[in-house]
Amino acid sequence: MNKSPVIFDEVTCLNDKKIGLITLNVPEKLNALSLPMIQLMLPKMKAWQCDNQIALVIIQGVGDRAFCAGGDIVSLYSDMVENPEQYTPQIESFFTQEYQLDYLIHTYQKPCLVWGSGFVMGGGVGLMVGASHKVVTETTKIAMPEIAIGLYPDVGASWFLSHMPENIGLFMGMTGAMINAADAKQLDLATHFVLEEQQLNILDALVAVSWGDTVALNHEKLSTVLGEFERHSVFKMPSSLLREHQSIINDVMNKDNVVDIAQAIIDLESESEWIKKAQHSLSQGSPYSAHIVYRQLIEAKNLSLADCFRLELNLSLRCAQNGEFSEGVRALLVDKDKAPKWQCKSVSEVRAETMDWFFEPIFSATEHPLRDLGIN
């Protein structure tokens, strides 16, 4: 059995072109993304991008529970605890290289297919959302639940949440609300819905394709294969949770400040279990996180994708410095008492100057670790 946290394969197709296959291989952690995994994936994807024999890349996860349930943030916990009010080189490396990987997927110069079955959360969404072809299944559950750990939706969420219609992105960020395959397609977080049982059949079909050297045509060929499988799967797609709750979301998000929005969500009277879970996540989550995501999505609205990642690196390092993040990780994932001691008891208690500090630049433009992102 291969013990590597990431497995790489090159599958030869009928015309001798190859498919680069990346498999996240930490099922006991729901394939949570660690720094060593990122450091394996980045150079391999760059090498495959330059390899004329590789026609496309597929990213998947081992096991039927999750593609990737987030970043392996427990690995950062001891650094945050041992170095209060600062961030370590390891923490900076983790977020810097994670965002470089996410950006590479967004801008990849070959077709890239992500198989987003099971849980796709946090860092897993970061791996999936930038891919040219994003497959969801009947088991897909997508969320950005960082409010539970005193962080905020990162991995490019500044970009994709701020571009969602009708304040859905802000609602998802503030509540960690979990959505399904139908919602993912509605929000352009997915391109195709396919039944989970068809995964191996799709690979077989892709092996039989006559791939060429023209990237645009290879994109079309991949879309054609996935479209055919979707045509035979769509009858089992779940009903949209967002469509069912859209009027409620519109009502609570129709405020001009984060305090009123948070209160409106918490005060909702609904029998919907989905709404109740969203209320619980917000009421138990970090008040700092609620404020960060509100301001983050406003500031990101007119930023480029590269600038969104630069903004997020700054925010992530501030979160590591602040102590709210480490407390959230402790309560949920280390001690698991689920009783975080947040620095404020409610969203209304958070001071404006505290939020100003989170958004205060750490680096000059010429010193920023992601300064070369987006520069060809």
Q: Could you tell me the pLDDT band of residue 2, with boundaries at 50, 70 and 90?
A: confident
* Structural contact between residues 65 and 119, judged by C-beta atoms closer than 8 angstroms: yes
Number of domains forming the structure of the chain: 1
Residue 21 inside a domain? The answer is yes
- Predicted pLDDT at 85: 86
Mean pLDDT of 307-319: 98
Side chain identity, residue 317: L
Question: Is the pLDDT at 375 greater than 90, yes or no?
Answer: no
- CA nearest neighbour of 149 among 347, 325, 341: 325
- CA nearest neighbour of 58 among 230, 229, 204: 204
Question: Is the pLDDT at 376 greater than 80, yes or no?
Answer: no
Pairing label, strands 192-193, 133-136:
parallel
Torsion on CA atoms 33, 177, 111, 220, rounded to nearest 10: 160
Bridge partners of 116, per DSSP, are 136
Q: Could you tell me the pLDDT band of residue 260, with boundaries at 50, 70 and 90?
A: very high
Element (H, E) at 333: none
- Predicted pLDDT at 156: 98
Express as a percent the part of the chain with pLDDT over 70: 99
Strand order in the sheet with 54-61: 6-12, 18-24, 54-61, 112-116, 133-136, 192-193
> How confident is the model over 214-224, as pLDDT tens digits?
999 999 999 99
- Predicted pLDDT at 1: 67
Mean pLDDT of 152-157: 98
Interacting residues of 334 by C-beta distance below 8 A, sequence separation 6+: 74, 77
Q: Provide the domain limits for residue 285.
A: 6-359
Interacting residues of 235 by C-beta distance below 8 A, sequence separation 6+: none
Six token digits for residue 123? 């860092």
User: How far is 146 from 137, CA to CA, in rounded Å?
Assistant: 23
Bridge partners of 142, per DSSP, are 120, 179
Look over the chain and give the mean of its residue pLDDT values, rounded to a whole number: 96
Question: Is the pLDDT at 363 greater than 70, yes or no?
Answer: yes
Question: Is the pLDDT at 42 greater than 80, yes or no?
Answer: yes
Ramachandran region of residue 122, left (φ > 0), alpha (ψ -120 to 50) or beta? Answer: left
Residue 1 inside a domain? The answer is no
User: How far is 356 from 46, CA to CA, in rounded Å?
Assistant: 37
Bridge partners of 193, per DSSP, are 136
* Structural contact between residues 265 and 252, judged by C-beta atoms closer than 8 angstroms: yes
Residue 366 inside a domain? The answer is no
Q: What beta strand segments (E) does the chain contain? A: 6-12, 18-24, 54-61, 66-68, 112-116, 119-121, 133-136, 141-143, 192-193
Pairing label, strands 112-116, 54-61:
parallel
> How confident is the model over 72-96, as pLDDT tens digits?
999 999 999 999 888 999 999 999 9
Angle at which helices 168-175 and 258-266 cross, to 10°: 70
Residue 369 inside a domain? The answer is no
Q: What angle do CA 308, 310, 315 make, to 5 degrees?
A: 90
Q: What are phi and psi of 92, to 5 degrees?
A: -60, -40
- Predicted pLDDT at 50: 97
User: How far is 140 from 160, CA to CA, in rounded Å?
Assistant: 18
Mean pLDDT of 348-373: 97
Q: What angle do CA 355, 356, 358 make, to 5 degrees?
A: 65
Side chain identity, residue 77: Y
> How confident is the model over 54-77, as pLDDT tens digits?
999 999 999 999 999 999 999 999
Residue 37 inside a domain? The answer is yes
* Structural contact between residues 226 and 201, judged by C-beta atoms closer than 8 angstroms: no
Q: What are phi and psi of 256, to 5 degrees?
A: -105, 15
Residue 255 inside a domain? The answer is yes
Looking up residue 57, the CATH number of its domain turns out to be 3.90.226.10
Residue 323 inside a domain? The answer is yes
Torsion on CA atoms 112, 116, 122, 128, rounded to nearest 10: 10
Burial 137-156 (b: 16+ CB within 10 A, else e): bbbbbbbbbbbbbbbbbbbb
Mean pLDDT of 243-259: 94
Mean pLDDT of 323-342: 96
pTM: 0.97
Residue 311 inside a domain? The answer is yes
Question: Is the pLDDT at 105 greater than 70, yes or no?
Answer: yes
Q: How many CB atoms lie within 10 A of CB 176?
A: 25
